[in-house]
Amino acid sequence: DVKVTQSSRYLVKRTGEKVFLECVQDMDHENMFWYRQDPGLGLRLIYFSYDVKMKEKGDIPEGYSVSREKKERFSLILESASTNQTSMYLCASSLAGRGYRPLHFGNGTRLTVT
Amino acid sequence: AQTVTQSQPEMSVQEAETVTLSCTYDTSENNYYLFWYKQPPSRQMILVIRQEAYKQQNATENRFSVNFQKAAKSFSLKISDSQLGDTAMYFCAFMKDQGAQKLVFGQGTRLTINP
Question: For chain A, which ranges sit under pLDDT 50?
Answer: none
* Nearest-angstrom CA–CA distance, A78 and A18: 6
Domains and CATH numbers, chain B: 3-114 (2.60.40.10)
Would the CB atoms of B6 and A107 count as touching at under 8 Å? Answer: no
Residue B4 touches chain A, beta carbons under 8 Å: yes
Instruction: Work out the burial of residue A97: count CB atoms within 10 Å of its CB; fewer than 13 is exposed, 13-18 middle, 19 or more buried.
Output: exposed
pLDDT tens for residues B85-114?
999 999 999 999 877 789 999 999 999 999
Residue A3's CB is within 10 A of a number of other CB atoms, namely 11
| Residues A56, A53: Cα–Cα separation, whole Å | 10
From the number of C-beta atoms within 10 Å of its C-beta (0-12, 13-18, 19+), residue B96 rates as middle
Q: How many domains does chain A have?
A: 1
How many Å apart are CA B26 and CA A29, to the nearest integer?
29
| Segments forming the whole domain that contains residue A81 | 4-113
Of residues B52 and A98, more confidence is placed in: B52
Average pLDDT rounded to a whole number, residues B40-60: 95
From chain A, which residues contact B within 8 Å (Cβ)? 31, 33, 35, 39-45, 48, 50, 56, 58, 88, 90, 92, 94, 96, 98-103, 105, 107-108
Residue A13's domain is classified under what CATH number? 2.60.40.10
B1 pLDDT exceeds 90? Answer: no
